[in-house]
Amino acid sequence: MLRDANELPVDDKLKRVNEFFNRHMAFVENKEVWGKDDYWATPLESLAKMKGDCKGYVIAKYFALLELNIPVKQLRLIYVKAQIGAAESNLQQAHMILAYYPTPEAEPLILDNLITEIRPASRRPDLSPIFSFNSDGVFVGVTGHAQMGPGGVGQLSHWADLLQRAHAEGF
């Protein structure tokens, strides 16, 4: 998939990566796959099992897009509260999505495993963003202009650990 998508325009790269993982990975809770309630799998770990939770999907998509030369500054993993059920439902669950920012001023495009169509953030009223991060750091807010908070990626111990493990795998 990466080889085939390498020369495509950015929108097609996003679509290929999103579709690949949404079609080929099975959603399975961490406890069943990794024996832990909260495990952040590296892309190679997720690919080896082709199973994962929402973080597994997002992390695999993030690293795949980096491999396709999408700049880190244009990608953010976003922790959200996702509305479950009908539009009038008050039920929410923790969820993670990937956002692509064409420019710092632009509305981000959302790559998700719940709704597989890539949509602008304004067309995802079911998501309430909490914070965003990438391999550069953790951001105060989710806009393209959001400032990086102090402390870098170390603020998220699971993310810092994942980055080290992914680096050891060649990412």
Q: How many domains does the chain have?
A: 1
Q: Tell me the mean pLDDT in the region 42-68.
A: 96
Residue-number span of the structural domain to which 94 is assigned: 2-168
CATH number of the structural domain spanning residue 106: 3.10.620.30
Model pTM score: 0.94
pLDDT at 84 over 80: yes
Residue 9 CB burial class (10 angstroms; 0-12, 13-18, ≥19): exposed
The average pLDDT across 52-70 equals: 97
User: Can you give the pLDDT at residue 161?
Assistant: 95
Q: How many other CB atoms sit within 10 Å of the CB of residue 161?
A: 13
**Is the distance from CB of 53 to CB of 79 less than 8 angstroms?**
no
